[in-house]
Amino acid sequence: SSELTQDPAVSVALGQTVRITCQGDSLRSYYASWYQQKPGQAPVLVIYGKNYRPSGIPDRFSGSNSGNTASLTITGAQAGDEADYYCKSRDGSRVVFGGGTKLTVL
Amino acid sequence: QVQLQQWGAGLLKPSETLSLTCAVYGGSFSGYYWSWVRQPPGKGLEWIGEINHRGVTNYIPSLKSRVTISLDTSKNQFSLSLSSVTAADTAVYFCARRNSGSYWGDSYYYMDAWGRGTTVTVSS
């Protein structure tokens, strides 16, 4: 299957740690990448590859991969981290996005 | 730093053809795949397809019969054409650069530059 499954919504208390997961068979073959999207804006890459952060992304964002599951962890969540998060992978020549997780920071 | 600037018609009637163009500034056009992604109102991201600097394309199967992605290397631009649009094609359309790398032989792919998005509405 080429689908990637994410929890629709997750909440975290300000300053606490939250993990957002992504499951799919394609993750056994390809690393996931993760994108943050705020309302009315284009997605922004936050994690890619084994656990790489683009320049400008805070080090409280980290990624991990195990079997068919990829995870995005935010350590010490900030109010500005409230957003939709999407995982992305490949299935052969196709690109697949997860359905997205809406993160609420309480 | 690479920047992507996109444009195109925002209001279409059913059966018309959607046409969007994305210009690449400040970076090489070769060595990457150039992608189109869309997002229907209130929904998630959907990959449409991609093209590399040699013109090799990949498309999502569900749209393959209606989609063409092309490029103009002389202008560092790539374009999306989607024919016979319906209301279901109403979405924000993004262009993006797909980059790649490898770690101990395992390849990884990521979209590290995005256009701002173009809202396309299909309505009679």
pLDDT in tens, A64-104: 999 999 999 999 999 999 999 999 999 888 999 999 999 99
- Which residues on B lie below 8 Å from A90 (Cβ)? 109
The end-to-end CA distance of chain B, in Å, is 40
Smallest Cα distance from B58 to chain A, Å: 6
Quick: pLDDT tens for A10-45. 999 999 999 999 999 999 989 999 999 999 999 999
pLDDT at B111: 97
- Which residues on A lie below 8 Å from B108 (Cβ)? 30-31, 33, 48-50
Q: Do B115 and A42 touch (CB under 8 A)?
A: yes
Quick: pLDDT tens for B59-97. 999 999 999 999 999 999 999 999 999 999 999 999 999
Q: Are A11 and A106 in contact (CB under 8 A)?
A: yes
Q: Do A43 and B46 touch (CB under 8 A)?
A: no
